[in-house]
Amino acid sequence: MQLWNKLSKEELVEKLKERGTKFVTVSFYQYASIPNTQVFRDHLFQMWNNLGVVGRTYVASEGINAQIGVPADKFEQFKKELYQISFLNNIRLNIAVDEAEAEFPFLKLKIKIRHKILADGLNDETFDVTNKGKHLKATEFNDLIDDPNTILIDMRNHYETEVGHFKGAITPDVDNFRESLPIIEDEILAGNEDKNIVMYCTGGIRCEKASAWYKHRGFKNVHQLEGGIIKYANDCSDKGIENKFIGKNFVFDERRGERITEDIISVCHQCGEAADTHVNCLNDACHLLFIQCDSCKEKMQGCCCSECQEVYNLPEEEQRALRKGKDNSNKIFKKGRSEKLKFKGNNKKPIRIPEAIKLEK
Protein backbone atom coordinates (compact mmCIF):
# COMPACT_ATOMS: atom_id res chain seq x y z
CA MET A 1 0.00 0.00 0.00
CA GLN A 2 1.30 3.49 -0.89
CA LEU A 3 1.98 5.47 2.28
CA TRP A 4 2.69 8.88 0.76
CA ASN A 5 1.21 11.30 -1.78
CA LYS A 6 2.59 11.72 -5.33
CA LEU A 7 0.14 14.23 -6.84
CA SER A 8 1.22 17.74 -7.91
CA LYS A 9 -0.12 20.86 -6.21
CA GLU A 10 -2.45 21.58 -9.13
CA GLU A 11 -3.79 18.00 -9.10
CA LEU A 12 -4.33 18.16 -5.34
CA VAL A 13 -6.28 21.42 -5.55
CA GLU A 14 -8.47 20.04 -8.33
CA LYS A 15 -9.09 16.84 -6.39
CA LEU A 16 -10.14 18.77 -3.27
CA LYS A 17 -12.44 21.02 -5.31
CA GLU A 18 -14.12 17.98 -6.83
CA ARG A 19 -14.78 16.54 -3.40
CA GLY A 20 -16.21 19.81 -2.09
CA THR A 21 -15.01 18.87 1.39
CA LYS A 22 -15.27 21.32 4.28
CA PHE A 23 -12.34 21.00 6.67
CA VAL A 24 -11.86 21.60 10.37
CA THR A 25 -8.33 22.89 10.98
CA VAL A 26 -6.89 21.12 14.02
CA SER A 27 -3.55 21.16 15.80
CA PHE A 28 -2.30 19.06 18.70
CA TYR A 29 0.90 17.75 20.20
CA GLN A 30 1.95 15.29 22.86
CA TYR A 31 5.33 14.52 24.36
CA ALA A 32 5.51 10.77 24.88
CA SER A 33 7.86 7.84 24.32
CA ILE A 34 7.29 6.24 20.89
CA PRO A 35 9.65 3.22 20.57
CA ASN A 36 8.95 2.38 16.90
CA THR A 37 8.34 5.64 15.05
CA GLN A 38 8.08 4.03 11.60
CA VAL A 39 5.30 1.66 12.62
CA PHE A 40 3.44 4.46 14.38
CA ARG A 41 3.88 6.80 11.42
CA ASP A 42 2.55 4.26 8.91
CA HIS A 43 -0.42 3.44 11.16
CA LEU A 44 -1.36 7.13 11.34
CA PHE A 45 -1.02 7.59 7.60
CA GLN A 46 -3.33 4.69 6.77
CA MET A 47 -5.88 5.75 9.38
CA TRP A 48 -5.96 9.42 8.36
CA ASN A 49 -5.67 8.84 4.62
CA ASN A 50 -8.80 6.69 4.80
CA LEU A 51 -10.64 9.63 6.39
CA GLY A 52 -9.41 12.18 3.84
CA VAL A 53 -7.28 14.07 6.39
CA VAL A 54 -4.72 16.53 4.99
CA GLY A 55 -1.92 18.38 6.73
CA ARG A 56 1.53 18.12 8.24
CA THR A 57 2.55 15.89 11.14
CA TYR A 58 5.92 15.14 12.71
CA VAL A 59 6.58 11.96 14.64
CA ALA A 60 9.67 11.36 16.80
CA SER A 61 10.70 9.15 19.68
CA GLU A 62 9.73 12.08 21.97
CA GLY A 63 6.15 12.40 20.69
CA ILE A 64 3.91 13.84 17.97
CA ASN A 65 3.19 17.32 16.59
CA ALA A 66 0.26 17.68 14.16
CA GLN A 67 -1.30 20.52 12.16
CA ILE A 68 -4.03 18.99 10.02
CA GLY A 69 -7.33 19.53 8.23
CA VAL A 70 -10.04 17.01 9.07
CA PRO A 71 -13.14 16.64 6.86
CA ALA A 72 -15.98 18.12 8.92
CA ASP A 73 -18.26 15.15 8.30
CA LYS A 74 -15.54 12.75 9.53
CA PHE A 75 -14.49 14.76 12.58
CA GLU A 76 -16.22 12.60 15.20
CA GLN A 77 -14.84 9.42 13.63
CA PHE A 78 -11.39 11.04 13.56
CA LYS A 79 -11.59 11.79 17.31
CA LYS A 80 -12.83 8.30 18.13
CA GLU A 81 -9.95 6.64 16.27
CA LEU A 82 -7.37 9.09 17.62
CA TYR A 83 -8.47 8.57 21.23
CA GLN A 84 -8.02 4.82 20.81
CA ILE A 85 -4.27 5.48 20.83
CA SER A 86 -3.45 5.22 24.54
CA PHE A 87 -1.17 8.25 24.93
CA LEU A 88 -3.52 10.38 22.81
CA ASN A 89 -6.74 9.49 24.63
CA ASN A 90 -8.68 12.73 25.24
CA ILE A 91 -5.78 14.82 23.93
CA ARG A 92 -6.66 18.53 23.68
CA LEU A 93 -7.43 19.48 20.06
CA ASN A 94 -6.89 23.13 19.17
CA ILE A 95 -9.51 24.19 16.63
CA ALA A 96 -8.67 27.12 14.32
CA VAL A 97 -10.10 30.50 15.25
CA ASP A 98 -10.74 31.64 11.67
CA GLU A 99 -11.30 29.26 8.76
CA ALA A 100 -12.23 31.91 6.21
CA GLU A 101 -8.84 32.99 4.84
CA ALA A 102 -7.93 29.94 2.74
CA GLU A 103 -9.97 27.61 0.57
CA PHE A 104 -8.07 24.61 1.90
CA PRO A 105 -5.90 24.64 5.05
CA PHE A 106 -3.57 22.00 3.56
CA LEU A 107 -3.40 20.23 0.21
CA LYS A 108 -2.14 16.77 1.13
CA LEU A 109 -1.26 14.50 4.03
CA LYS A 110 2.39 14.49 5.05
CA ILE A 111 3.61 12.54 8.07
CA LYS A 112 7.37 12.72 8.59
CA ILE A 113 9.68 11.04 11.07
CA ARG A 114 12.02 13.49 12.76
CA HIS A 115 14.74 13.25 15.39
CA LYS A 116 12.57 15.54 17.54
CA ILE A 117 9.07 16.93 17.08
CA LEU A 118 10.50 20.34 17.98
CA ALA A 119 14.14 21.09 17.15
CA ASP A 120 15.72 22.55 20.29
CA GLY A 121 19.50 22.19 19.96
CA LEU A 122 19.65 20.55 23.39
CA ASN A 123 21.91 17.59 24.14
CA ASP A 124 21.28 17.01 27.84
CA GLU A 125 20.33 13.40 28.57
CA THR A 126 19.18 14.36 32.09
CA PHE A 127 16.52 16.73 30.71
CA ASP A 128 12.96 15.46 31.24
CA VAL A 129 10.63 17.20 28.78
CA THR A 130 7.55 15.94 30.65
CA ASN A 131 8.49 17.86 33.84
CA LYS A 132 6.74 20.95 32.51
CA GLY A 133 5.67 24.27 33.98
CA LYS A 134 2.21 25.07 35.29
CA HIS A 135 -0.52 25.39 32.66
CA LEU A 136 -2.64 28.55 32.85
CA LYS A 137 -6.19 28.84 31.61
CA ALA A 138 -7.23 32.12 29.96
CA THR A 139 -8.49 33.81 33.16
CA GLU A 140 -5.49 32.65 35.19
CA PHE A 141 -3.18 33.87 32.43
CA ASN A 142 -4.80 37.31 32.35
CA ASP A 143 -4.54 37.64 36.14
CA LEU A 144 -0.90 36.59 36.30
CA ILE A 145 0.36 38.78 33.46
CA ASP A 146 -1.21 41.78 35.24
CA ASP A 147 1.05 41.05 38.24
CA PRO A 148 4.07 43.42 38.20
CA ASN A 149 6.21 40.51 39.39
CA THR A 150 5.59 38.66 36.11
CA ILE A 151 7.74 38.44 32.99
CA LEU A 152 5.66 37.61 29.89
CA ILE A 153 7.67 36.05 27.05
CA ASP A 154 6.60 35.29 23.48
CA MET A 155 8.27 32.00 22.47
CA ARG A 156 7.60 32.43 18.75
CA ASN A 157 9.79 33.65 15.87
CA HIS A 158 10.22 37.23 14.65
CA TYR A 159 7.85 36.91 11.67
CA GLU A 160 5.10 35.60 13.98
CA THR A 161 5.34 38.25 16.68
CA GLU A 162 5.56 41.00 14.06
CA VAL A 163 1.86 40.68 13.17
CA GLY A 164 0.45 39.93 16.64
CA HIS A 165 1.37 39.45 20.29
CA PHE A 166 0.10 39.95 23.83
CA LYS A 167 0.20 43.43 25.31
CA GLY A 168 3.38 43.96 27.30
CA ALA A 169 5.07 40.78 26.08
CA ILE A 170 8.81 40.54 25.49
CA THR A 171 9.23 39.44 21.86
CA PRO A 172 12.78 38.17 21.17
CA ASP A 173 13.83 38.82 17.57
CA VAL A 174 14.78 35.22 16.80
CA ASP A 175 14.58 32.99 13.74
CA ASN A 176 13.77 29.70 15.45
CA PHE A 177 12.99 28.00 18.74
CA ARG A 178 16.45 26.50 19.40
CA GLU A 179 17.98 29.96 19.03
CA SER A 180 15.51 31.45 21.51
CA LEU A 181 16.27 29.17 24.50
CA PRO A 182 19.78 30.45 25.40
CA ILE A 183 18.98 34.06 24.42
CA ILE A 184 15.95 34.19 26.72
CA GLU A 185 17.85 32.60 29.60
CA ASP A 186 20.90 34.86 29.27
CA GLU A 187 19.23 38.16 28.39
CA ILE A 188 15.85 37.99 30.14
CA LEU A 189 15.71 35.38 32.90
CA ALA A 190 19.18 35.77 34.41
CA GLY A 191 18.81 37.84 37.57
CA ASN A 192 15.02 37.43 37.59
CA GLU A 193 14.84 34.07 39.34
CA ASP A 194 12.20 35.35 41.78
CA LYS A 195 9.83 36.51 39.01
CA ASN A 196 6.80 34.69 37.66
CA ILE A 197 7.89 33.45 34.24
CA VAL A 198 4.93 33.20 31.86
CA MET A 199 5.36 31.98 28.28
CA TYR A 200 3.05 31.57 25.32
CA CYS A 201 3.19 30.36 21.71
CA THR A 202 0.79 29.36 18.93
CA GLY A 203 -0.60 26.08 20.28
CA GLY A 204 1.54 25.27 23.31
CA ILE A 205 4.25 22.93 22.01
CA ARG A 206 7.13 25.40 22.23
CA CYS A 207 6.13 26.60 25.71
CA GLU A 208 5.77 23.03 26.91
CA LYS A 209 9.38 22.23 26.10
CA ALA A 210 10.66 25.67 27.14
CA SER A 211 8.93 25.54 30.52
CA ALA A 212 10.40 22.09 31.21
CA TRP A 213 13.85 23.29 30.13
CA TYR A 214 13.83 26.38 32.35
CA LYS A 215 12.63 24.29 35.30
CA HIS A 216 15.53 21.95 34.54
CA ARG A 217 17.83 25.00 34.59
CA GLY A 218 16.65 25.89 38.12
CA PHE A 219 13.89 28.45 37.61
CA LYS A 220 10.99 27.83 39.99
CA ASN A 221 7.96 29.91 39.01
CA VAL A 222 7.53 28.76 35.42
CA HIS A 223 4.11 28.95 33.69
CA GLN A 224 2.70 28.51 30.20
CA LEU A 225 -0.55 29.46 28.47
CA GLU A 226 -2.57 26.26 28.10
CA GLY A 227 -3.29 25.52 24.46
CA GLY A 228 -1.46 28.65 23.33
CA ILE A 229 -2.96 31.58 21.49
CA ILE A 230 -5.43 29.37 19.60
CA LYS A 231 -7.17 28.03 22.70
CA TYR A 232 -6.92 31.39 24.47
CA ALA A 233 -8.70 33.22 21.63
CA ASN A 234 -11.44 30.60 21.48
CA ASP A 235 -11.92 30.67 25.27
CA CYS A 236 -12.10 34.48 25.34
CA SER A 237 -14.74 34.43 22.62
CA ASP A 238 -16.76 31.55 24.09
CA LYS A 239 -16.64 32.64 27.74
CA GLY A 240 -16.60 36.43 27.48
CA ILE A 241 -13.06 36.74 28.89
CA GLU A 242 -11.04 39.89 28.21
CA ASN A 243 -8.74 39.32 25.23
CA LYS A 244 -5.27 40.76 25.79
CA PHE A 245 -3.85 39.62 22.43
CA ILE A 246 -3.58 42.21 19.65
CA GLY A 247 -3.39 41.61 15.91
CA LYS A 248 -3.06 38.34 14.03
CA ASN A 249 -1.96 34.90 15.12
CA PHE A 250 0.47 33.50 12.54
CA VAL A 251 -0.36 29.88 11.65
CA PHE A 252 1.56 27.27 9.69
CA ASP A 253 -0.98 26.38 7.02
CA GLU A 254 -2.20 27.93 3.79
CA ARG A 255 -3.99 30.73 5.69
CA ARG A 256 -0.70 32.09 7.14
CA GLY A 257 -2.67 33.81 9.88
CA GLU A 258 -5.95 34.04 11.76
CA ARG A 259 -7.27 37.39 12.90
CA ILE A 260 -7.73 37.76 16.65
CA THR A 261 -8.41 41.52 16.74
CA GLU A 262 -8.80 44.19 14.07
CA ASP A 263 -5.52 45.86 15.11
CA ILE A 264 -2.86 45.94 12.37
CA ILE A 265 0.49 46.36 14.12
CA SER A 266 2.86 45.65 11.23
CA VAL A 267 3.61 47.18 7.82
CA CYS A 268 3.97 46.06 4.22
CA HIS A 269 7.62 45.12 3.69
CA GLN A 270 7.57 46.80 0.27
CA CYS A 271 5.86 50.17 0.80
CA GLY A 272 5.59 50.66 4.58
CA GLU A 273 1.80 50.98 4.70
CA ALA A 274 -0.15 49.20 7.43
CA ALA A 275 -0.52 45.50 6.52
CA ASP A 276 -0.31 42.10 8.19
CA THR A 277 -0.86 39.56 5.40
CA HIS A 278 1.99 37.09 5.01
CA VAL A 279 2.58 35.73 1.50
CA ASN A 280 5.23 33.66 -0.25
CA CYS A 281 6.88 35.19 -3.32
CA LEU A 282 5.23 33.68 -6.41
CA ASN A 283 8.58 33.16 -8.12
CA ASP A 284 9.01 29.39 -7.65
CA ALA A 285 12.77 29.86 -7.30
CA CYS A 286 12.26 32.16 -4.31
CA HIS A 287 9.10 31.63 -2.19
CA LEU A 288 10.38 34.19 0.33
CA LEU A 289 7.91 34.73 3.19
CA PHE A 290 7.07 38.42 3.67
CA ILE A 291 4.25 40.88 4.40
CA GLN A 292 2.56 42.44 1.36
CA CYS A 293 -0.39 44.85 1.09
CA ASP A 294 -3.05 44.52 -1.63
CA SER A 295 -1.66 47.45 -3.60
CA CYS A 296 1.87 46.01 -3.75
CA LYS A 297 0.46 42.56 -4.47
CA GLU A 298 -1.19 43.92 -7.60
CA LYS A 299 1.78 46.06 -8.61
CA MET A 300 4.39 43.33 -7.99
CA GLN A 301 2.17 40.40 -9.09
CA GLY A 302 2.71 38.71 -5.71
CA CYS A 303 6.51 38.84 -5.99
CA CYS A 304 9.00 40.16 -3.44
CA CYS A 305 11.13 42.22 -5.87
CA SER A 306 11.41 43.31 -9.50
CA GLU A 307 13.95 40.55 -10.25
CA CYS A 308 11.52 37.87 -9.10
CA GLN A 309 8.70 39.57 -10.99
CA GLU A 310 10.74 39.37 -14.22
CA VAL A 311 11.34 35.65 -13.67
CA TYR A 312 7.68 35.08 -12.79
CA ASN A 313 6.62 36.51 -16.16
CA LEU A 314 8.92 34.26 -18.18
CA PRO A 315 7.51 31.15 -19.87
CA GLU A 316 7.41 28.18 -17.49
CA GLU A 317 10.08 26.33 -19.48
CA GLU A 318 12.54 29.23 -19.05
CA GLN A 319 11.76 29.43 -15.32
CA ARG A 320 12.53 25.74 -14.91
CA ALA A 321 15.81 26.14 -16.78
CA LEU A 322 16.84 28.98 -14.45
CA ARG A 323 15.99 26.89 -11.37
CA LYS A 324 17.70 23.71 -12.55
CA GLY A 325 20.56 22.58 -10.33
CA LYS A 326 20.25 25.50 -7.91
CA ASP A 327 19.73 25.13 -4.18
CA ASN A 328 17.58 28.01 -2.93
CA SER A 329 16.73 26.62 0.49
CA ASN A 330 18.52 29.35 2.46
CA LYS A 331 16.84 32.04 0.40
CA ILE A 332 13.40 30.45 0.62
CA PHE A 333 13.39 30.39 4.41
CA LYS A 334 14.85 33.84 5.17
CA LYS A 335 11.29 34.72 6.24
CA GLY A 336 11.37 38.48 5.87
CA ARG A 337 15.05 39.27 6.45
CA SER A 338 15.89 39.66 2.78
CA GLU A 339 17.77 42.80 1.74
CA LYS A 340 15.19 43.19 -1.04
CA LEU A 341 12.53 44.21 1.51
CA LYS A 342 12.76 47.96 2.07
CA PHE A 343 10.55 48.17 5.16
CA LYS A 344 11.87 45.18 7.11
CA GLY A 345 15.11 45.27 9.12
CA ASN A 346 17.64 42.75 7.84
CA ASN A 347 19.61 42.70 11.08
CA LYS A 348 18.27 41.44 14.37
CA LYS A 349 16.98 43.99 16.84
CA PRO A 350 17.89 43.97 20.55
CA ILE A 351 15.33 42.47 22.92
CA ARG A 352 12.93 45.05 24.31
CA ILE A 353 12.73 44.54 28.07
CA PRO A 354 10.16 46.53 30.10
CA GLU A 355 11.69 49.31 32.24
CA ALA A 356 10.41 47.79 35.51
CA ILE A 357 12.38 44.61 34.86
CA LYS A 358 15.49 46.55 33.74
CA LEU A 359 15.52 48.58 36.95
CA GLU A 360 15.46 45.50 39.17
CA LYS A 361 18.24 43.65 37.35
Compute the average pLDDT of residues 140-163: 96
pLDDT per residue over 258-279, tens digit each? 999 999 999 999 999 999 999 9
Average pLDDT, the chain: 88
Compute the average pLDDT of residues 224-240: 95
Side by side, which strands form the sheet with 245-249?
Answer: 164-166, 245-249, 258-259
Q: Domains of the chain: which residue ranges?
A: 22-113, 134-241+348-360, 278-332
Compute the average pLDDT of residues 238-259: 92
> Catalytic site residues?
201
CATH class of 22-113: alpha beta
Q: DSSP 3-state assignment of 11? A: helix
* DSSP structure string for 159-187: HHHTTEEETT-B----SSHHHHHHHHIII
pLDDT per residue over 74-128, tens digit each? 999 999 999 999 999 999 998 887 655 446 678 889 999 999 999 999 988 899 8
**Segment holding 225, helix H or strand E:** strand 222-225
Q: pLDDT category, 20, cuts 50, 70, 90?
A: low
* DSSP structure string for 296-344: HHHHHTT-SSHHHHHHHTS-HHHHHHHHTT---HHHHT-TT--TT-TTS
Domain 134-241+348-360 superfamily per CATH: Rhodanese-like domain (3.40.250.10)
Cα 183 to Cα 189: distance, rounded to the nearest angstrom: 9
pLDDT per residue over 285-328, tens digit each? 888 999 999 999 999 999 999 999 999 999 999 888 888 776 65
